[in-house]
Structure formats: C-alpha cells, structure tokens
Amino acid sequence: MSARQYTEEEIKLFDEIRNGRKFDAGEELPPLYKKALKNLLWMQHDSEYSGALGYAPWIEKAPTMQEKVIVAQIVKDEMRHASVIYKLLEGLGEDVMSHIEKTELGWKSPEDKAQIGFQRLKDDYRVNIFYYGINFWEDFILFNFLMDRAAGHQLEDTLDSSYLPWKKGIEGIYKEEIMHLAHGDKWIKILAASEKKDFLQERLNIWWPRVMNVFGSTSGRSNDLYVNLGLKKRNNQMVRDTFVKEVQDMCEQAGLVLPEYKEEEQPTRQ
C-alpha cells in the first residue's frame, strides 16, 4: 500500500486496535482500515473461488471413487469459503457478482512449468499460485500439502481478527483447510513410498517456489500495516518460517528433498 506517513488519527487507531478495539458489521470503518480489509478480503475471495474451479476437474480425474467423493467435498468447501467472503464484501458495499462475471477466475497458465515469481494479473486478486494449472494427481496432492497448509497458517491469524464478521467466518473455513492439508499429508506418504516418488519430487521442485511466493516479499510494508490494523498478527517472514519448518520435517520423513528457494531471484511485479 502507499508509502505515505500515517496521520495522527491513524496512529491513534493503531493504538486502539493494539488495546483490543474491534469492528463489527454495519459499523462505520476508518478509511485506512476499510481499504486494507477490502484488499485482504478480495484476495481471499478470488483465491477461494479460483481454487474451487482449479480443483473441480479432479473430481473426474481422481484415481478412485472414494477419492472422487473427497475431491468433490474439497471443491464444495472452497466454493463455500468464497461465498462466505462474498457476503462480507457485499456487506462492505462491493459488487462481487459483477467482478466474477468480468474476471476469468478459472483462467490458468497454459505453460506447465511456468514460474511467474511475484507477478500477477490486473483486476484479478487471487494469490498468484492459483494462476498455475493443476496438471497431475501429484499436483493436486501437492496443492493440498503445500497451499492448503499455507492458507491454514495465514488464516490462523484471522482467527483473532479485529474485524469480527471475518473472525466468525474463518472459524469454519480454518477447520476445513486443516482437513484438506491432512488429505495432502496422507497422499504424500503414499506417493513417496511408491514408484511415483521421483515424479513427486520433480513436481515438488516446480511447486515449491510457487508456494513460497504466496507469502509475498519479506520486505513488503503492507504487511506491517495489516498487523497494525489487527488484520494479521505476524509478518510474512514469521508465518513463512513456521510453514517451512513443518513442510521440511514432513518431507524428511517421506524421503523428499525441499529445493533451495531464493526470494531475491523471483521475478517481481511489473
């Protein structure tokens, strides 16, 4: 967000929030707060919505009947998450349906091994990992294992959000994300113990920088603003470190190797 200095009033707002001030539906929100809140909600809405569409083809392609049911459940969960956020945005005066109609939230990059770093499309607010195609069952599983886990870590902060309607909505969403990542964990073990292990490692190498980029740049200033407004609790680096530690341990147990990630080598926003 803007690099301007904060006004006295805004600094007072940060103090009040630090001392426990919350906002509820229908309450008038300070402009800086409302803008930051809407940014985060749009990002979550478009991510959940395009996540549901990206997972949907895997109902048909899942390897067993039991897995088709699980994938269908996950698709339903993601679309429900989008609908929860949709309602919050509507409550803030946003026209979400027009946005859905004019944005191609189902669009995926046709290039299987693309690495776009921190770049993103205009007027499409999803986290940019959702621009990549889920082209193999191993990708679907890695998405559960990595992205649903990353989402879980990010949403954990929202469980204590200063915006009460969001805090309330996240409780159910968070539980469902935990189920999605558990599905990933189960399958990572199965695939890593099978003849698919080398291919899984190959796909992990492709998806790892993509998921690490989801945490944004560790030097970004907008994150500090979100923390000041009680919309996040930890900065990008803290959330990312916790996530990496968890994935690292699980990969070691499964005999997989996490590739090296260099934030400074990622293509940046243009």
3-state secondary structure 175-224: HHHHHHHHHHHHHHHHHHCCCCHHHHHHHHHHHHHHHHHCCCCCCCCHHH
Least separation in angstroms between residue 165's CB and Fe ion is 17
**Burial of 2 per CB tally in 10 Å (0-12, 13-18, 19+):** exposed
Binding site for Fe ion (CB under 5 A): 48, 78, 81, 148, 177, 180
* Shortest distance, position 146 Cβ to Fe ion, whole Å: 11
Q: How far, in Å, CA of 205 to CA of 259, rounded?
A: 6
Nearest distance in Å: CB 26, Fe ion: 26
Closest to Fe ion by CB, 14 or 55? 55
By beta-carbon proximity to Fe ion, the closer residue of 29 and 62 is 62
From CA 129, how far away is CA 240, in angstroms rounded?
Answer: 15
Q: Is the CB of 180 or the CB of 240 nearer to Fe ion?
A: 180
Q: Which is nearer to Fe ion, 151 or 192 (CB)?
A: 151
10 vs 177, which CB is nearer to Fe ion? 177
Stretch (H or E) spanning 250: helix 236-254
In the complex, least distance from residue 52 CB atom to Fe ion, rounded to whole angstroms: 8
Compute the least distance from the CB of residue 255 to Fe ion, in Å.
26
The phi and psi torsions of 23 (rounded to 5 degrees) equal -125, 140
Q: Provide the minimum distance between the beta carbon of 151 and Fe ion in the complex, in angstroms, as a whole number.
A: 6
Q: Compute the Cα dihedral for 137, 140, 145, 146 and give only its sign.
A: positive
Q: Which is nearer to Fe ion, 49 or 208 (CB)?
A: 49
* CA-to-CA dists, residue 24 to 21, 162, 208, angstroms: 10, 9, 38
> By the 8 A CB rule, do 59 and 74 touch?
no
